[in-house]
Amino acid sequence: MPEAARPRFPGVYGIHADDDGLLEWSWAEERLVAARNYWVTTVRPDGSPHAMPVWGLWHEDAFYFSSSPDSRKAKNLTANPQVNVHLESGDEVVVIEGTADHEGDEDLLRRLGEDYSHKYSFDVTFTGGRPLVVVSPRVAYAWIEQDFPKTATRFSFP
């Protein structure tokens, strides 16, 4: 379970200093599980950002998505595994910062393939070498836009 605290944003944002209003991790996790589309931002070799929408799954404190090894995001992640993942909503915000790797556990890949097929009504199999990227979060940010100064929360993962 990640630890909740206030984000270290500049004072001009008016973030509350006390813990009153911090979001629970379950609030963020519900949105990560329910989302249909996610934005993944990787870093190109020249240091510029590369953002693309993907389908994916939040499962046991990690984010999973597929990407062709020939795609720009996959090439970027091979060179630099640092990645951001965020939801489409600017009203109910969840942003993950973490590190990407490839998932190789065949049993987990089978289960995730079933979950993915169910979620998207799209038959897919991740076993047998189909690439599946796993993002392990380092930190997450979440807030409700209408009450940003009170709800802005930073989650640190162990």
User: What pLDDT digit, counting tens, does each position of 73-122 carry?
Assistant: 999 999 999 999 999 999 999 999 999 999 989 899 999 999 999 999 98
Domain count, the chain: 1
Tell whether 89 is covered by a domain: yes
Handedness of CA 41, 42, 48, 50 (dihedral sign): negative
What pLDDT does residue 34 have?
97
- As a whole number of angstroms, the distance between CA 50 and CA 93 comes to 20
What pLDDT does residue 129 have?
67
- As a whole number of angstroms, the distance between CA 14 and CA 28 comes to 21
The dihedral region occupied by 107, where left means phi > 0, alpha psi between -120 and 50, and beta the remainder, is alpha
Q: Is the pLDDT of residue 3 over 90?
A: yes
Tell whether 32 is covered by a domain: yes
Tell whether 132 is covered by a domain: yes
* CATH of residue 44: 2.30.110.10
Provide φ and ψ at 34, rounded to 5°: -80, -20
Tell whether 14 is covered by a domain: no
> What average pLDDT is seen over the chain?
94
Tell whether 145 is covered by a domain: yes
Domain that holds residue 58: 21-156
